[in-house]
Amino acid sequence: MPKVLIADKMSVSATEVFKNRGVDVDVITGLTKDELIKIIPEYDGLAVRSSTSPDAEIITAAKNLKVIGRAGIGVDNIHIPSATDRGIVVMNTPFGNAVTTAEHAIAMLFSAARQIPSASNRTQNGEWPKSDFKGVELFNKTLGIIGCGNIGALVAERALALKMKIIAFDPYLTPERAVKLGVEKVDIETVFKRADAITLHTPLVESTRNIVSEENLALTKKGVIIVNCARGGLVDEEALKAALESGHVRAAALDVFAVEPAKTNPLFGTPNFIATPHLGASTLEAQENVAVQIAEQMSDYLLTGAVSNALNTPSITAEEAPRLMPWIDLADKLGTMMGQLLQTPAKSVELTYKGQITQLNTNPLSAAALAGLLKTAMPEANMVSAPSLVKERGIAFKESYIDESERAESLIRIMVETDERKFAIVGTIYRGEPRIVRLFGVSMDAAFTPHMLYVRNEDRPGFVGQLGNLLGDAKINIATFSMGRMEVGGEAVCLVAIDGGVSEVTLKSIRELNHVKIVDLVSL
């Protein structure tokens, strides 16, 4: 039975989901780093929010960990590269608190436009400062949205209902999607120049760090409003403070800060500044949603292999998993065989999918094939780490599709180019079993077995008998024998399934047979 540790406070519903799904679960919150390192080897899954930070040291200690689940969106507290290297899936819940965060951004926008917190404080302190608060309407104003993904789109929907005009910057926002949302897609400079108010809904990466900078603030209209309910670090806090003090920025409302918990901050006490303690996802509904969702996602992965909302590996839905698993197994075997038979390093890899398989989610298949290919040289390679390992090593990768679903069986071909030549292996699923149908240009029908002897030789009479006799003398039993050739008298390929391994002495004897060119042992 898989075992999960819930290391941060979250709804009891998460525990109930794990237990109901047949997953053993412990809830231990408030652990120090050393305490977590000590117990983490016991667990297959780790569920966190923002308090626990699984860094490289913790992940290295997690010998059995298969998945880290973040109940929420931001994963800044998880060292994803280390998890990827170890084959640990990192997943989040990008939709569970989206509405709540969007509503908080709108609330902050209203609060900044009318300075509601300051007005409330002074009124309750016995003042009646009506003349000191001249707000601005949001009606007919231009809202600039930086990051128009799920949350940004929800903010746009609500701002449109307020009769605001929306401009948005997002590199991944298509023109068609922009039209559907009712927003104008613009570049980042245009957002800062045209917007009456700017709200941030983008991840924190190097390209977005301090995106609200001194230089960009200088582009804005006098009287602009800045709202950040996304990630700390998107705003240069010193620059924003200066812009507030000068009166260039009318008001700013931040729910997130560069350093949290923000017990002190340069912006605190600045006129027309509003702060909340990272409340974007803090509603009863959101907390329940993300807790249930992360428990369901982690359970699906640990019990069925289904992957949802993963940050470092392709997703596989629970519905897809039963259909995909045989093809993932085939892709892994094709890649493993190719990796063991290559004599020189790969320069490029192309995976071609043909037939009905083109209608499936092929991303996990490609990840499995790449993992198999790399395992000979890098035993630590896995479906999670393989795509990034291929990229790091400068190996060109390509996928192609031949959609002949009505006329042809489904096939996977892995073709690898080295300095010498191109090599290709083609496989399929026949009656539920993975089969090899073409090996290095030679047609055949062979099953994958734990031990296979690959022999490339000149097509000459008597060779098969010589090979059989040599294996017999070495007490090696032949399970199946598959053979094909390019042309009469040309090059032939033998794939011999054998019961057990082959000693170096026997391999040397096979290589010394007349007409033999290459001999290799494939182990699956």
| Beta carbons within 8 Å of 135's beta carbon, 6+ residues apart | 113, 114, 115
Round to the nearest angstrom and report the end-to-end CA distance of the chain. 26
| Percent over 90 (pLDDT), the chain | 60
- Going along 136-248, which residue ranges are E strands? 142-146, 165-169, 184-185, 197-200, 224-228
Same domain for 336 and 235: no
Tell me, what's the pLDDT at 497?
86
Answer whether residue 280 is part of any domain.
no
Same domain for 294 and 178: no
Answer whether residue 129 is part of any domain.
yes
Same domain for 124 and 238: yes
| Percent over 70 (pLDDT), the chain | 99
More confident residue, 499 or 436: 436
Same domain for 227 and 352: no
Tell me, what's the pLDDT at 404?
60
Of these residues, 35, 214, 260, 420, which one is catalytic?
260
Please report, for the domain that includes residue 295, its CATH number: 3.40.50.720
More confident residue, 97 or 336: 336
Tell me, what's the pLDDT at 118?
95
| Beta carbons within 8 Å of 380's beta carbon, 6+ residues apart | 85, 86, 87
What whole-number distance in Å separates Cα of residue 180 and Cα of residue 148? 12
Answer whether residue 315 is part of any domain.
no
Number of domains in the chain: 3
Same domain for 267 and 147: yes
Same domain for 444 and 418: yes
Same domain for 201 and 164: yes
Same domain for 52 and 117: no
- Whether the pTM exceeds 0.75: the reply is no
393 flagged as catalytic: no
Q: Which spans in 376-458 are helix H?
A: 386-392
Of these residues, 278, 413, 438, 485, which one is catalytic?
278
Same domain for 270 and 218: yes
Nearest Cα neighbor of 517 from 498, 486, 491, 480 is 491
Structural domain of 295: 3-94+285-304
Same domain for 86 and 56: yes
- Mapped onto helix, strand or coil, the DSSP state of residue 433 is strand
Average pLDDT, the chain: 91
Answer whether residue 130 is part of any domain.
yes
What whole-number distance in Å separates Cα of residue 430 and Cα of residue 229? 53
Residue 110 CA, distance from chain mean position? 35
> Which of 190-194, 397-401, 480-484 has the highest average model confidence (pLDDT)?
190-194
Helix, strand, coil distribution of the chain in percent, nearest 5: 35, 25, 40
Determine the average pLDDT of the residues in 223-242: 97
512 flagged as catalytic: no
104 flagged as catalytic: no
Tell me, what's the pLDDT at 408?
60
Determine the average pLDDT of the residues in 74-98: 89
Answer whether residue 382 is part of any domain.
yes
Of these residues, 70, 231, 438, 485, which one is catalytic?
231
Domain endpoint, select from 255, 275, 295: 275
Domain endpoint, select from 275, 296, 312: 275
Tell me, what's the pLDDT at 69?
96
Tell me, what's the pLDDT at 407?
55
Answer whether residue 314 is part of any domain.
no
Determine the average pLDDT of the residues in 428-434: 90
Which stretch of 155-164, 167-176, 237-246 has the lowest confidence by average pLDDT? Answer: 167-176
Tell me, what's the pLDDT at 11?
92
Nearest Cα neighbor of 197 from 218, 172, 166, 169 is 166
Answer whether residue 116 is part of any domain.
yes
Tell me, what's the pLDDT at 102?
95
What whole-number distance in Å separates Cα of residue 159 and Cα of residue 171? 21
Tell me: the pLDDT tens digits for 376-425? Answer: 888 878 888 888 888 888 899 999 998 765 556 789 999 999 888 888 99
For residue 514, is pLDDT > 60?
A: yes
Tell me: the pLDDT tens digits for 279-310? Answer: 998 888 888 999 999 999 999 999 988 888 88
Same domain for 170 and 41: no
What whole-number distance in Å separates Cα of residue 122 and Cα of residue 57? 49
Same domain for 501 and 445: yes
Answer whether residue 311 is part of any domain.
no
Tell me, what's the pLDDT at 377?
82
